[in-house]
Amino acid sequence: MNEDGVAILFIDLDNFKQVNDTHGPEKRDEILRSVGKILRSILRDKDVAGRMGGDEFVICVSARREVIQKTAMSIAQRIITGTNGVGYGIGCSIGIALITSPQDTIASTIKCADAAMYEAKKLGKNRFILFGTSN
Residues marked active site are found at 55
Cα four-point dihedral sign 132, 98, 49, 44: positive
Alpha-carbon gap, residue 126 to 8, rounded angstroms: 18
Four-point Cα dihedral 10, 16, 18, 23, nearest 10:
-160
Alpha-carbon gap, residue 42 to 34, rounded angstroms: 13
